[in-house]
Amino acid sequence: MITASIVTYCTPQEELETILSCAKNSPIDKIYIIDNSPTSILRNNIYTFSNNIEYIWGHGNIGYGSAHNIAMRKAYQSGATYHIILNPDISFQNGVIEACRDYMEQNASVGTIMPKVIYPNGETQYLCKLLPTPFNLIFRRFFPFKFLKKYNDKYELRLFGYDKTINVPCLSGCFMFLRTKIFEDIGYFDERYFMYGEDFDYYRRIHTKYKTIFYPLVFIIHKHKKESYKNKKL
């Protein structure tokens, strides 16, 4: 059994419908939509995509990790073998979920897997990373990129070319294909993180006991808005 969760906050209806359409045509058995929005308007029309959707609203804006934890606990209690963290701004073709599942079935030491991630124009997103240091997180954000290119290339592991399967210590939270067995000894997202960093922390913890795999034989499309680069509040 494969479950998935999508956390939303004032997400455009069209964006949510895109990811639900992708999930509908995949082996995902149940989708949890945890809506942190102030209203439940996103409830409208979502059930036309699938009867296997559980919409959860009314808990307030509790953050990314805390909201996904609601679904992850439900997935574990329901006996799901795999659970997928999905950002609402991604899409994928038929076969992606199957490929990730098959790789996990053949490699019991893998705790989570992420496919190659590209922009809508086809460019690669460099989301494989070393475990971040304060230098990585702060200086690359506020200093001109040209002065940090060498450090940034090393941090984003660009030298391996993003063309081979590799065990990476830190990946992206936009798509996390998780083996639910890891919840028993790794737990869930640390709810002290409201937004940003909770996925890095979770990968760090998973990587101490399991492989965290980048799998470029299939890909997903991620709009990757980088709102924190545009919005000073974020």
CATH number for 2-230 (one of 2.30.30.790, 3.40.50.800, 3.90.550.10, 3.90.1310.10): it is 3.90.550.10
Count of CB atoms situated within 10 Å of the CB of 232: 6
Distance CA 38, CA 173 (A): 23
Tallying the residues shown for the chain, one arrives at 234
Domain layout of the chain by residue ranges: 2-230
Q: What is the pLDDT of residues 15-25, one digit of tens each?
A: 999 999 999 99
Give the pLDDT score at 195: 74
Q: Which residue has the higher pLDDT, 119 or 152?
A: 119
Report the distance separating Cα 203 and Cα 217, nearest Å. Answer: 21
Report in angstroms the alpha-carbon separations of 114 from 70, 181, 218. 22, 17, 9
Pick from 106, 107, 80: which is nearest to 1 by CA? 80
Q: Tell me which residue of 119, 118, 148 sits closest to 135, measured CA to CA.
A: 148
**pTM for this entry:** 0.90
Q: Using one digit for the tens of pLDDT, what is the confidence trace for 205-215?
A: 999 999 999 99
